[in-house]
Copies of this chain bind each other. A is one copy, B any other.
Amino acid sequence: MKGPKEKVSDASAECKAELRSLRGRLLAQQQRIRDQKLPVIVLVEGWAAAGKGSLINELICELDPRFYNVVSPVILPEKEERYPYLYPYAKSMPENGKIMFYDSGWMEGAVRKYLHREITKEQYKARIRSVNEFERQLRDGGYLVLKLFLDISRGEQRKRLRSLKENFETEWRVTDDDLWQHREYELFRDTYESFMEKTDGIAWHRLDGSKKKAAACEALRLLVELVDRALENGRYVGKPFKEDFPLLEMPKLRDVDLSPSIGEEEYREELKKLQKRLGELHNIVYRKKIPVVLCYEGWDAAGKGGNIRRIARPLDPRGFDVMPIASPEPHELNRQYLWRFWTRLPRSGHICIFDRTWYGRVMVERLEGFCTENDWRRAYNEINEFERQLTDWGAVVLKFWIHIDQDTQLERFTDRQNTPEKQWKLTEEDWRNREKWPQYEEAVDEMLRRTSTENAPWFIIESNDKKYARIKTLRILVDALEKACGSQWAKGL
| Contact surface of A with B, Cβ cutoff 8 Å | 27-28, 31, 34-35, 53, 56-57, 60-62, 64-66, 69-70, 72, 74-75, 77-79, 101, 103, 169-170, 172, 280, 283-284, 287, 305, 308-309, 312-313, 316-319, 321-322, 324, 329-331, 347, 350, 353, 355, 421, 424
* CB <8 Å contact, A75 and B347: yes
In the bound complex, residues from chain B placing their C-beta under 8 Å from that of A353 are 65
Asked whether A283 and B355 contact (CB < 8 A) given A64-B305, A317-B53, the answer is no
* CB <8 Å contact, A78 and B79: yes
* CB <8 Å contact, A322 and B65: yes
In the bound complex, residues from chain B placing their C-beta under 8 Å from that of A65 are 305, 308-309, 312, 322, 324, 353, 355
In the bound complex, residues from chain B placing their C-beta under 8 Å from that of A77 are 77-79, 347
* CB <8 Å contact, A317 and B72: yes
- Least Cβ distance of A218 to chain B in Å? 19
In the bound complex, residues from chain B placing their C-beta under 8 Å from that of A313 are 57, 61
- Complex CA–CA separation, A62 to B305 (angstroms): 11
- Least Cβ distance of A209 to chain B in Å? 17
In the bound complex, residues from chain B placing their C-beta under 8 Å from that of A169 are 280, 283-284
Specify the chain B residue showing the minimal Cβ separation from A308: B65
- Complex CA–CA separation, A101 to B70 (angstroms): 35
In the bound complex, residues from chain B placing their C-beta under 8 Å from that of A347 are 75, 77
In the bound complex, residues from chain B placing their C-beta under 8 Å from that of A330 are 329-330
- Least Cβ distance of A8 to chain B in Å? 24
- Complex CA–CA separation, A472 to B78 (angstroms): 38
* CB <8 Å contact, B53 and A424: no
Specify the chain B residue showing the minimal Cβ separation from A424: B31
- Complex CA–CA separation, A329 to B95 (angstroms): 14
Excluding A28-B421, A66-B322, A75-B347, 19 further A-B contacts by CB distance (< 8 Å) are: A27-B421, A31-B421, A34-B424, A35-B424, A53-B316, A60-B317, A61-B309, A62-B309, A65-B305, A65-B312, A65-B324, A66-B355, A70-B318, A75-B319, A77-B77, A77-B78, A78-B78, A169-B283, A329-B331
Specify the chain B residue showing the minimal Cβ separation from A78: B78
Asked whether A324 and B66 contact (CB < 8 A) given A283-B170, A317-B53, the answer is yes
- Complex CA–CA separation, A319 to B74 (angstroms): 9
Q: How many copies does the complex hold?
A: 2
* CB <8 Å contact, A317 and B31: no
- Least Cβ distance of A314 to chain B in Å? 9
- Complex CA–CA separation, A60 to B313 (angstroms): 8
- Which of A64, A308, A313 counts the most chain B CB atoms within 10 A? A64
* For the complex of A and B, 3 pairs with smallest distance between CB atoms: A65-B322, A77-B79, A70-B317
- Complex CA–CA separation, A492 to B57 (angstroms): 31
- Complex CA–CA separation, A65 to B352 (angstroms): 12
Specify the chain B residue showing the minimal Cβ separation from A74: B318
* CB <8 Å contact, B64 and A318: no
* CB <8 Å contact, A321 and B424: no
Specify the chain B residue showing the minimal Cβ separation from A287: B172
In the bound complex, residues from chain B placing their C-beta under 8 Å from that of A34 are 424
Specify the chain B residue showing the minimal Cβ separation from A422: B31
List 7 contacting pairs A-B, 8 Å CB cutoff, sorted by A: A56-B317, A60-B312, A60-B317, A66-B305, A75-B318, A77-B78, A77-B347
In the bound complex, residues from chain B placing their C-beta under 8 Å from that of A28 are 421
* CB <8 Å contact, B318 and A53: yes
In the bound complex, residues from chain B placing their C-beta under 8 Å from that of A61 are 309, 313
In the bound complex, residues from chain B placing their C-beta under 8 Å from that of A317 are 53, 56-57, 60, 70, 72, 101, 103
- Least Cβ distance of A340 to chain B in Å? 11
Specify the chain B residue showing the minimal Cβ separation from A349: B75
- Complex CA–CA separation, A41 to B167 (angstroms): 51
* CB <8 Å contact, A309 and B72: no
In the bound complex, residues from chain B placing their C-beta under 8 Å from that of A287 are 172
- Complex CA–CA separation, A329 to B334 (angstroms): 12
Specify the chain B residue showing the minimal Cβ separation from A305: B64
- Complex CA–CA separation, A418 to B340 (angstroms): 41
In the bound complex, residues from chain B placing their C-beta under 8 Å from that of A57 are 313, 316-317
- Complex CA–CA separation, A31 to B425 (angstroms): 9
In the bound complex, residues from chain B placing their C-beta under 8 Å from that of A308 are 65
- Least Cβ distance of A249 to chain B in Å? 32
* CB <8 Å contact, A64 and B309: yes
Specify the chain B residue showing the minimal Cβ separation from A347: B75
- Which of A74, A280, A284, A316 counts the most chain B CB atoms within 10 A? A316
In the bound complex, residues from chain B placing their C-beta under 8 Å from that of A56 are 317
- Least Cβ distance of A346 to chain B in Å? 9
In the bound complex, residues from chain B placing their C-beta under 8 Å from that of A60 are 312, 317
Specify the chain B residue showing the minimal Cβ separation from A326: B66
